[in-house]
């Protein structure tokens, strides 16, 4: 056939591939803490991640974990908060302090030439914080103002209420923050939490980007003598809450929109069904072409956006459907969400829809592993669940091989509306 001749054959469609994902290199520090390595010669900066067993699950008092983490750079005996900020800026580095339910992460982006200086500065900041009263007072005031604004939002109200319904008010995942907590937290609470979960709670270290033996040597010197954290989260298991089938409406007369949350407990990342459940969730509401988006956004115009998601935590998994809709559409939107759940667990998915979902999910995985920082993020997520990169290799295989019959069976098991609870904050007309 000549090059100029046309053919009626469509081009071959190939699914995106990431290739076989390998686990990172591991260097054990002298204290046994693992240092995970994600080298890249094409990246011009280095990222250091320090993971501590200092999540909100280990608080003895609400706000203790968050305040401790955010006030780490608030000042030491030799440096003020302003001097710490200026020192990081001078070296072209950027620190980030974050707290999640099950962990806290201190992260630093820096230039390789200044690695030793900036890593030592970070170590000084997290090892010797003073938690100055003035810095703490300013933080209490700003965070309280932000909280008081947020608690007027229907999205905030519905999320808080949903988590309390699922886990219980005494559970760290379900505990509500109250305005008086901001005044109750003291400097002594932060010092106590820091001593327990930062001085003695380092779980792992990760380096990503332009790294060499020189950076590893610095990490060994700074963190190789620090006490390792071998304990998990200390919060005891609580009785299961009776949330299934419950519906809560929280009225807000001035609301222009209603916030809808439909949720239930589900399996975690380490469960054999989780990877197949990721496909089911994507079909329902996990991507822009999902059934919920097509129905409630494109066809009905009830919302600008709706999504379903899976969340895996140390103390349990969560399946969540979330949207905000005009108050005049609240009841109809709820009906359509349950209609889509019922369709998913009663009818087989067509192969044409499944092909689209496969392409979307595999494409997302390719982007998820694009570069050393993304690789590091994905690996650390798996590590928190006791897994490694094989989780993502197996996920790719499940996306490629799952059948409509398997999807229907998983939907019947995990997307039965009787196993979910419902929270609506706003108005119903």
Per-residue pLDDT band for 1 (boundaries 50, 70, 90) equals very low
Per-residue pLDDT band for 429 (boundaries 50, 70, 90) equals confident
Counting every residue, how long is the chain? 429
55 φ, ψ to 5°?
Answer: -80, 175
Per-residue pLDDT band for 400 (boundaries 50, 70, 90) equals very high
- Give me the pLDDT at residue 201, please: 87
Residue holding tokens 């050393």? 372
- Give me the pLDDT at residue 231, please: 54
Would you state the structure tokens that stand for residue 326, as one six-digit string? 């005009």
Reported as a single tens digit per residue, the pLDDT across 29-66 is 999 999 999 999 999 999 999 999 999 999 989 999 99
Q: Is the pLDDT of residue 385 over 60?
A: yes
Per-residue pLDDT band for 235 (boundaries 50, 70, 90) equals low
Least confident stretch, 3-17, 66-80, 165-179: 3-17
Per-residue pLDDT band for 18 (boundaries 50, 70, 90) equals low
Per-residue pLDDT band for 227 (boundaries 50, 70, 90) equals confident
CATH, domain range 247-426: 3.30.830.10
Give me Rg for the CA atoms of the chain: 24
Taking residues 275-285, what's their average pLDDT?
Answer: 98
Superfamily of segment(s) 25-223: Metalloenzyme, LuxS/M16 peptidase-like (3.30.830.10)
Reported as a single tens digit per residue, the pLDDT across 287-326 is 999 999 999 999 999 999 999 999 999 989 999 999 999 9
* Pair 350, 404: CB distance under 8 Å: yes
Reported as a single tens digit per residue, the pLDDT across 412-424 is 999 999 999 999 9
Taking residues 199-220, what's their average pLDDT?
Answer: 95
Mean pLDDT of the chain: 93
- Give me the pLDDT at residue 109, please: 98
Per-residue pLDDT band for 133 (boundaries 50, 70, 90) equals very high
Q: What angle do CA 216, 221, 227 make, to 5 degrees?
A: 110
Residues of the chain with CATH 3.30.830.10: 25-223, 247-426
Q: Give the DSSP letter of residue 31.
A: T
Of 131, 69, 57, 134, which Cα lies nearest the Cα of 95? 69
| Cα separation, 262 vs 426, whole angstroms | 15
Q: At what angle do helices 404-414 and 274-281 cross, to 10 degrees?
A: 90
Taking residues 381-391, what's their average pLDDT?
Answer: 96
Coil, strand or helix: which one is 337? helix
DSSP, residue by residue, 249-300: EEE-TT-SEEEEEEEEEE--TTSTTHHHHHHHHIIIIISTTSHHIIIIIIIS
Reported as a single tens digit per residue, the pLDDT across 147-188 is 999 999 999 999 999 999 999 998 989 999 999 999 999 999
| Cα separation, 423 vs 79, whole angstroms | 47
Q: Is 284 exposed, middle or buried (0-12, 13-18, 19+ CB in 10 A)?
A: buried
């Amino acid at each position: 056939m000549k090059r100029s001749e046309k053919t009626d054959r469509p081009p071959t469609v190939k699914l995106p591939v990431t290739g076989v994902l390998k686990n990172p290199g591991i260097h054990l520090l002298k204290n046994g803490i693992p240092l995970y390595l994600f080298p890249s010669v094409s990246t011009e900066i280095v990222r250091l991640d320090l993971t501590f067993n200092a999540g909100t699950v280990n608080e003895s008092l609400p706000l203790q974990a968050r305040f401790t983490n955010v006030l780490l750079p608030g000042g030491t005996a030799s440096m003020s908060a302003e001097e710490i900020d200026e020192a990081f800026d001078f070296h072209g580095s950027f620190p980030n302090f974050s707290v999640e339910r099950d962990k806290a992460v201190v992260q630093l982006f820096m230039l390789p030439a200044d690695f030793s200086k900036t890593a030592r500065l970070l170590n000084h900041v997290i090892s010797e914080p003073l938690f100055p009263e003035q810095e703490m007072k300013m933080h209490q005031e700003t965070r309280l103002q932000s909280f008081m604004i947020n608690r007027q939002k229907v999205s905030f109200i519905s999320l808080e209420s949903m988590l309390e319904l699922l886990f219980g008010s005494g559970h760290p995942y379900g505990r509500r923050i109250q305005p008086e907590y901001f005044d109750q937290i003291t400097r002594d609470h932060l010092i106590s939490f820091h001593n327990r979960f930062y001085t003695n709670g380092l779980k792992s270290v990760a380096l990503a980007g332009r790294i060499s033996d020189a950076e590893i040597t610095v990490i060994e010197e700074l963190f190789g003598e620090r006490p390792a954290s071998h304990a998990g989260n200390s919060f005891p298991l609580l009785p299961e809450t009776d949330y299934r089938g419950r519906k809560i409406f929280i009225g807000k007369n001035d609301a222009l929109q209603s916030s809808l949350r439909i949720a239930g407990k589900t399996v975690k990342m380490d469960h054999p069904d989780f990877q197949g459940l990721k496909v089911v969730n994507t079909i329902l509401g996990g991507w822009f072409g999902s059934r919920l988006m097509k129905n409630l956004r494109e066809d009905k115009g009830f919302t600008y956006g709706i999504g379903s998601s899976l969340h895996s935590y140390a103390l349990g998994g969560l399946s969540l459907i979330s949207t905000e809709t005009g108050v005049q559409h609240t009841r109809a939107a709820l009906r359509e969400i349950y209609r889509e759940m019922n369709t998913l667990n009663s009818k087989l998915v067509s192969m044409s829809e499944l092909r689209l979902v496969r392409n979307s999910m595999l494409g997302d995985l390719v982007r998820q592993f694009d570069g050393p920082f993304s690789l590091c993020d994905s690996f650390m997520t798996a590590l928190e669940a006791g897994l490694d990169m094989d989780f993502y290799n197996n996920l790719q295989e499940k996306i490629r091989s799952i059948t409509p019959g398997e999807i229907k069976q998983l939907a019947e098991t995990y997307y039965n509306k009787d196993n979910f609870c419902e929270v609506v904050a706003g108005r119903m007309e």
